[in-house]
Amino acid sequence: MAIHRHFDEELDLLKQKLVFMASMAESMIYKAVKSLTERKESLIAEVNEDEEKVNLLQIEIDELCLNLLALKQPMATDLRFITSAMKINSELERIADMAVNITQRASGLIKQPQLKPYIDIPRMADLAQKMVKDSLDSFVRQDAELARSILTRDDEIDVLKDQIFRELLTFMISDPSSIPRALELILVSRHLERIGDHATNIAEDVIYLVQGKDIRHHIEEQRNHRK
């Protein structure tokens, strides 16, 4: 029976579950954006099914963390690792929610003529997916360098978001009939931006975890100054 696993094995199991959840979230982002760009209703349904699985996984991971805290009473490093895992778990669940939100926009948009070729939205989605993947890799490998690279990429996402906004604004001003579709596309770009934010939250947790001091708001301040 596996009830008396060693603590290290339990931690490995926790990592595996989180990596699996992240890979589901990534694939949901991919499918959600593809449902829009390739106008595929079937992918919208898939994302909604995936979300239910992610929700169950979130509860499972939460319980695993609580059990580890209660039964093993870990100290210092392991304690921080487990509480970080709980935070990352929430972030991943929200990333999955954002993918669902994108499909809600897609579901209206694919019933209407396409406003413009989609170029920047798939680019944003690629960036966001990669950020999610790397944020989890940085957690598993305790790699602060990789985590730090995610903070820079979040700025790239913001640049694309602003670009999309300006372009769609031009569409709306020159052709009012484009406004409802343009607004939906702006919201898609905001959902992708938020995925980048969640991956950044994970990366900041990892840096905090590795360095053992709270740089979260310090980084935030630096980034605000750069804006």
Stretch that binds a copy of itself, among 5-13, 67-75, 127-135, 138-146 (CB under 8 A): 67-75
Q: From the CB of 73, what's the least distance to a copy of itself, in Å?
A: 4
In terms of CB distance, is 38 or 176 closer to a copy of itself? 176
10: how many CB neighbours lie within 10 A of its CB? 20
| Degrees to nearest 5, angle at CA 20 with 18 and 24 | 115
Q: Does 219 bind a copy of itself (CB under 8 A)?
A: no
- Binding residues among 159-218 for a copy of itself as defined by CB under 8 A: 169, 172-174, 176, 179-180, 183, 186, 190, 214, 216-217
One of 16, 55, 211, 222 touching a copy of itself (CB under 8 A): 55
Q: From the CB of 112, what's the least distance to a copy of itself, in Å?
A: 15
Tokens of 55: 């929700």
Q: Measuring CA to CA, how many Å separate 88 from each of 12, 36, 62, 75?
A: 15, 28, 10, 20
> Concatenated DSSP letters for 36-76?
HHTT-HHHHHHHHHHHHHHHHHHHHHHHHHHHHHHHH---H
One of 13, 19, 34, 69 touching a copy of itself (CB under 8 A): 69
Percentages of the chain per state (helix, strand, coil), in multiples of 5: 85, 0, 15
Contact positions vs a copy of itself (CB under 8 A): 52, 55-56, 58-59, 62, 65-66, 69-70, 73, 75-76, 79-80, 83, 86-87, 90, 169, 172-174, 176, 179-180, 183, 186, 190, 214, 216-217, 220
